[in-house]
Structure 1
Amino acid sequence: MEKSKIWINKTFKGVELLSASYTKFKFTKHWHDELAIGVIEDGAEGLFYRGDNLIIPKRHIVAINPSEVHTGFSGAPNGWRYRMFYFNLKELDSEFSNRDMPIDPIINSPIIYDEYLFNILFQLHVSLEKPSFELTKESLFSLAIEKLFRQYGSAKRERFNSICTTSSYLARDFIQDNFEFNPSLSELEKISNCSKFQLIRSFKIIFGITPHQYLLLIKVKNAKKLLSKGLSCVDTSLACGFCDQSHFIRNFKKAFGISPSNYLNDKG
């Protein structure tokens, strides 16, 4: 079955998204003005790029630089399923101006095998399709862009290694005190006086998780306390600032291995 969906998420300017599954469909020769980055979820995509026929298999990343002519076709009998980002680099430059992060339009290889980057890009794409916290979307975006350009971009720069300890604790305390209001990464950047990239790196080094993962943990822990006091699932979800009921149920079960309603019934 062939299907496709294209959309723009209002969180980031200049980022178009595609989710598609193709079996027999073939793209004719074309190019993108944007940097095209995709993750192959299943099957394999065939690509005619820079004079060669390439096969990008499942769990690999495809990277097509702006203005590069290419095609797309099935690289496996059952076709391929993938998720694509189309990054407007002018918008990215304005997003990351005055940061410790180089944005360069040239990615060195059209095929990248990197499990960590694949997972981050996949999670980011899903977060821009389904209800997610702004902190989740911003954090995944920063992690993905930093990894992509630092390791696979043509303008590699020396990694910034300093750890922002005080800033990380300020960010942690701010999340604890304001978890129900869903603080954004931009807010954490301001209150901690530390760039998004430095803050995420430092926070993870010190606490073992990223700021958006910490926010989710604080939310579900507080949700558990409220459920223990007899609050309903709907009221608990609202009190803790979840995007919607499905978002609350999914994250509660991930943390505790049981749905909120079952936990409430067991307590009752």
Structure 2
Amino acid sequence: MPTLSAALRAEYQQLFDTCQINPDVASVVNKQASQIMGSEARYRGVADPIGVPWYVVGVIHAMEAGLDFKCHLHNGDPLTRRTVNVPAGRPKTGQPPFSWEDSANDALAFDRYPQWTDWSIPGILFKWESYNGWGYRTYHPEVKSPYLWASTNQYKCGKYVKDGLWSPTAVSKQIGAAALLRRLAEKGAVDAASHTTQPKLADAIAGPGAALRYNPKVVAPGGIALQHFLNQFPGVFLREDGKLGDLTSAAYKQVFGHYLLGDPRAA
């Protein structure tokens, strides 16, 4: 099994940074991303207690259950009984019908999400690819995993049409997890700390009390650290006063692709 090496981390980040959603599915991706954002509170109910970003659970829900809250998060089987498909027999405790929350808690624990702590973009993509399997990297490295990259410019064709059966011409029709994550990032739903693997910045802007929202009138926790980070990019010249106003938000958009949450220009 691969490990999240520096080289693999750089590959994930480069693929995500240059990822473009295919125009023919852009409306579908946007609709699914909006649905995920609309269910943020429900995802937070299972994600926050174990330290997982809510949008990670949302994308899993899209990939495994088509965003249907009547289905197990594990694999999309109905909540009216234990799972039949892999992983079968989940949850092992309790009696059906299961609540979506009970099933989701079991699915996340089963896949060891509470033990995973790297929620950078590369860390998220590695966790998802690990869940789906390393068959593409091991046997068909010329094809980027469609579980991640389908519906983007990073994937064209080639897929396993069933377990162990490879087709070089088959094309995945599912929206890839990275495509959804990219659209969520473009819509401002993904935490800024997840866009960078620089620990000092991530710690500063994701620490207790951090509130990276547009507000030119008050000093935001983590605001000075964010401005210092943005000033490292060409053409960015910010006063490091911690006030996240128009100039900081514009620089933030230059680096991360969208304005700060709350910026009127993001509407």
Q: TM-score, normalised by structure 1?
A: 0.26
Higher-strand-fraction structure: 1
Question: Which structure's CA Rg is the greater one?
Answer: 1
Q: TM-score, normalised by structure 2?
A: 0.26
